[in-house]
Amino acid sequence: MTTRAIQVVRAGALTTVQDLGRAGFAHLGVPRSGALDQPAHRLANRLVGNPPDAATLETTLTGTAVRVCATTVAAVVGAPCTVRVQGRPVAWGAAIRIPAGAVLDVGPATAGLRGYLAFAGGVAVEPVLGSRSTDLLSGLGPAPLADGDVLGLGEPTGPTPPDADVSRRPGPPTELVLPLVLGPRRDWFAPDAPAALGAARYTVASASNRIGLRTDGPALSWARTDELPSEGMVLGAVQVPPDGRPVLFLADHPVTGGYPVIGVVPEEHLALAAQAVPGTPVRFTVTAH
């Protein structure tokens, strides 16, 4: 076969199509979505000669395996893992040539959580609102991969550049340290709540997903008992539900919410959150502005 496409042999626990997301539609109730670890997504595209907004496959913990229908170039970055073509080991974090009909097998993560698999030309599913990203909250974009799915690939747009130095990327965190800027609802908590949050030690909860990183640990108490009207939510918002355990909103987060937000984690720190496996220690460093 010469068609530029891939066929899913092993879908993995959760493998989705992701690009840089569909920004600008929060007023329609649509979150940005997109790759959770955007630096890894961009690097995977760079390795195969794609622009940053080309769609990749985002794997979760167990990897994936696909058969290529035509000779192509691919790269796997993000969570470290073993990579094989037709059963033979090949490089992780580098451009690799895959002959037509061969199976590319991305193994389980040996550290971290999410891997990014790029193909020259990008994954060419139909865009929705300008993005090819799978949004697990709204249901926009393609469904998570299933065994037997066939996905088209675009035409390569440029030559494959020299390999980037993947070793300069930070590895998956052994402790997730998150700077947090207080507000907008710090008045919903006791005066000592920011200090308590900064002193507390949490861990990543197993219920975490692309919508939000949930935490296990000490509960923060609300200082008020009235109901907060629903209001806009931003990427990186740290919302505190009635159980008192902070939730960090990630790419598929709802655009409105009715629980108070004690602070916001700046976007540039969210890529590490995307790689934090359940049980990873979490610490917030709190600032007023």
pLDDT, tens digit, 9 for 90 and up, residues 222-277: 998 888 999 999 999 999 999 999 999 999 999 999 999 999 999 999 999 999 99
Find tokens 């890894």 and name the residue: 40
What pLDDT, on a 0 to 100 scale, did the predictor assign at position 1? Answer: 41
* pLDDT above 60: residue 120: yes
Q: 19 and 149, same structural domain?
A: yes
Q: Are residues 188 and 113 in the same domain?
A: no
Query: Residues 24-30: what's their mean pLDDT?
Result: 91
Q: In this structure, what token pair is assigned to residue 247?
A: 């939730």
User: How many structural domains are present in the chain?
Assistant: 2
- Picking from 115, 136, 168, the residue at the C-terminal end of a domain is 168
> Which of residues 121, 151, 168 is at a domain's end?
168
252 contacts 222 by C-beta, under 8 angstroms: no
Residue range of the domain that includes 273:
176-287
Q: Answer whether 0.85 is exceeded by the pTM.
A: yes
CATH code for the domain in which residue 220 is found: 2.40.100.10
Length of the chain, please? 289
Instruction: Please give the Cα distance from 241 to 123 (Å, whole number).
Output: 37
Clarify whether residues 110 and 92 are in a common domain: yes
- Name the domain boundary from 168, 201, 232: 168
- Residue 166 pLDDT exceeds 90: no
Residue 152 and residue 181 in one domain:
no
Co-location of 21 and 100 in the same domain: yes
Question: What is the reported pLDDT for 250?
Answer: 98
What pLDDT score was predicted for residue 171? 81
State the Cα–Cα distance between residues 145 and 172, nearest whole angstrom. 24
- End-to-end CA separation in angstroms for the chain: 57
